[in-house]
Chain A
Amino acid sequence: MSSTTIQAIFDDDDVLLRAVKNLKDAHYHIEEVFTPFPVHGLEKAVGLPNTRIAITSFIYGLIGLSFAIWLMDYTMITDWPQNIGGKPSFSFAENMPAFVPIMFELTVFFAAHLMVITFYMRSKLWPYKKAENPDPRTTDDHFMIEVSTANDVKSLEDLLKKSGAKEIKTKA
């Protein structure tokens, strides 16, 4: 038996939040929610697991730090050590304080850029990507829930209507 996906439009974030709770209580599966702005508490209500993107940023930062250490050790100490103003050019440990600013900058550079690239890739955002919000009003002031059900479409529609949905339609 194929399942049907119902799209319900709301025009208030608090009503939307209550509708999500009602749907959850009735054990419906919420496929997707489209909102014009981040609605606080919505991901908890839908039961979305936390994003791990901050962890990736931490790892990218460590990579940046290691790269900075390697770069400066290789160029300044190993490959071509020079006497610059009598600074200790032949020992990484002794020259390290002068390397701290670049270590910091490259840590931030890697952590920030690679995290943003990860975000764009994971959320499939890039130039020429077609927008996938089914209703253009969901970037303005409307909210849409997509709920799928295998059997009783009528009772789902009733529940949505009771929860304050303004429009209800079946996804083509």
Chain B
Amino acid sequence: MSHYEAPIREPLIFGDKSYHDISVDVAAPVEGKANKLWWIAFSIALTAFLLGLGAISYTIGVGIGVWGLNNRINWAWDITNFVWWVGIGHAGTLISAVLLLFRQKWRMGINRSAEAMTIFAVFQAGLFPIIHMGRVWNAFYVLPLPNALGSLWVNFNSPLLWDVFAISTYLSVSLVFWYTGLLPDFAMLRDRAVKPFQKQIYGLLSFGWSGRLKDWQRFEEVSLVLAGLATPLVLSVHTIVSMDFATSIIPGWHSTIFPPYFVAGAIFSGFAMVQTLLLIMRKVSHLEAYITKIHIENMNKVIIVTGGIVSVAYMTEFFVGWYSGSSYEDYTYLSVGAATGPYWWAFWSLITCNFIFPLTLWFKKARTNLIWSFILSIIINIGMWFERFDIIVIDLSRGHLPSSWTMFSPTFVDVSIFIGTIGFFFVLFLLYARTFPVIAQAELKSILKSSGENYKNLRKENHE
């Protein structure tokens, strides 16, 4: 029996839907043909991806000297992009794991796509440190393999190595969490499929899922335990990424506020990316009944909270830097020096995009406005990119030694690789949207009776 839910709570599934309708609606994008818009989007993404692939090949062939890095600024767009993509990945796990532990039913409409976004984003993130190694064929040196490196081992004291473990654990655990959840939905597609090819593919992908009672019992237990494991994992990944900076002695990086502030920023940018993707997908794949205004508004609420945390961190950093009276703090990425110096435009982009614009979400009108949510989600993504750019480039540009102060300008290779990862991300997401069940339909069916609009109305009539 489904749990009782008060009729006053807004429904999470609109329309007069039955269990079968959910299957039909979720299977429709998979079984139908791609429209023109999809092909246009896919072609653009693929072109961008190929551009990036070319730039990556060029970098590997010639060496990272083709990037804009210089003696002083030896981390720039690559690590900015790395942190940006990892951060974007955080929303998926937060939605599927943390919201599962908090029993937030609205996660069920969006968790599948959010997790797909996580996995695709972490793919992009993982590319950057590997390319930055220069000799990519030696990338396996980061693994503690016996005898591969003579008698030497990797350095477990280094946050960069922690990153290797954190990111690979995060990626692989997210992947199995996602895949396990997909099994019943692949089985649904398999049993509906008419074309023999689809039947075969989804039969293979569903691992022979039959929906036995014991399987469901284990499935739910495994989901719960994975959620419990993934929750600290989400927090740990960006904590460790922030330690890449925080454990160094560069002014602006050497900051104890970094771990919580990075995690909040990651969730902030991740939710913005989920908004960007889902606002389009619900329209294109006709999922308005499942990804409703409530979902969008709830995500906007998470954005206010995490954006608020980030804003408070900005103010704290700015104030403490000034109050410390240390001249080294005068040019950190949150300081008077940054606001008025040669990188003023990067500083103010950060403040405008991440601090000022998200304040509009305090108004319900803005929060429930889909067009504004979409525009804002892109603004936040830009702002969060600038945050990482500011932390890395502004801080490095003004070090302890004024004679080495310098500026950074990216080359076309830097830019192309970044565009390439955006293209790769969208190639993966567009393919996913056409071949995967984009909504966790099995889970959604289990809340239809408690949170569906038609059942809610039925209960309302019977009570009154």
Contact = CB atoms under 8 A, between A and B. Distances in A.
Nearest to A132: B210
Q: Which 5 A-B pairs rank lowest in CB-CB distance, beginning with the nearest?
A: A129-B208, A141-B19, A136-B191, A75-B153, A125-B207
28 contacts: A33-B213, A34-B210, A36-B442, A38-B217, A38-B442, A39-B446, A51-B218, A53-B222, A53-B225, A76-B155, A76-B156, A80-B153, A84-B157, A101-B240, A101-B243, A102-B156, A108-B233, A116-B180, A119-B219, A131-B203, A131-B208, A131-B210, A132-B212, A137-B191, A139-B192, A140-B23, A140-B192, A141-B20
A106 B318 CA distance: 37
A41 B1 contact: yes
Question: How many A residues are at the interface, by size bracket?
Answer: 35 or more
Interface of A: 13-14, 17, 32-43, 46, 48, 50-51, 53-54, 57, 71-72, 75-76, 79-80, 82, 84-85, 87, 95, 98-99, 101-102, 104-106, 108-109, 111-113, 115-116, 119-120, 122-133, 136-141
Interface stretch (B111-119, B169-177, B250-258, B409-417): B169-177
Interface string B367-384: 000000000000000000
Given A40-B2, A102-B156, A108-B232, 7 more contacts: A35-B213, A39-B216, A48-B214, A80-B151, A106-B165, A125-B208, A127-B204
Contacts of B341: none
A51 B221 contact: yes
B208 A132 contact: yes
Interface string B216-230: 111111101110011
Instruction: Please indicate which of the listed interface residues A57, A79, A139 has the most CB atoms of chain B within 10 Å of its own CB.
Output: A139
B215 interface: yes
Interface stretch (B181-189, B269-277, B324-332, B398-406): B181-189
Given A130-B208, A140-B23, A113 B213 contact: no
A38 B217 CA distance: 8
B443 A37 contact: yes
Nearest to A106: B165
Contact of A54 (B172, B215, B221): B221
B178 to A, nearest CB: 11
A54 to B, nearest CB: 5
A143 B162 CA distance: 47
Given A32-B213, A124-B208, A127-B207, A37 B153 contact: no
B152 interface: yes
Contact of A108 (B151, B158, B169): B169
A98 B156 contact: yes
A47 B340 CA distance: 70
A140 B20 contact: yes
A133 B211 contact: yes
B190 interface: yes
Contacts of A53: 218, 221-222, 225
Nearest to B2: A40
A113 B172 contact: yes
A120 B212 CA distance: 13
Interface residues of B, number: 68
Contacts of A17: 1
Contacts of B442: 36-38
B144 interface: yes
B236 interface: yes
B213 A76 contact: no
Nearest to A104: B236
Interface in B123-157: 144, 151-157
A130 B200 CA distance: 10
A78 to B, nearest CB: 10
B457 to A, nearest CB: 18
B445 A36 contact: yes
B214 A140 contact: no
A36 B213 CA distance: 10
Contacts of B236: 101, 104-105
Contacts of B443: 37
Interface centre among A48, A109, A124 (most CB of B within 10 A): A109
B190 A72 contact: no
B206 interface: yes
A166 B158 CA distance: 64
Contacts of B122: none
B283 interface: no
B209 interface: yes
Contact of A120 (B184, B206, B207): B207
B157 A79 contact: no
A169 to B, nearest CB: 18
B176 A116 contact: yes
B83 to A, nearest CB: 17
Nearest to B22: A141
Contacts of A84: 155, 157-158
B209 A125 contact: yes
A53 B218 CA distance: 7
A75 B183 CA distance: 40
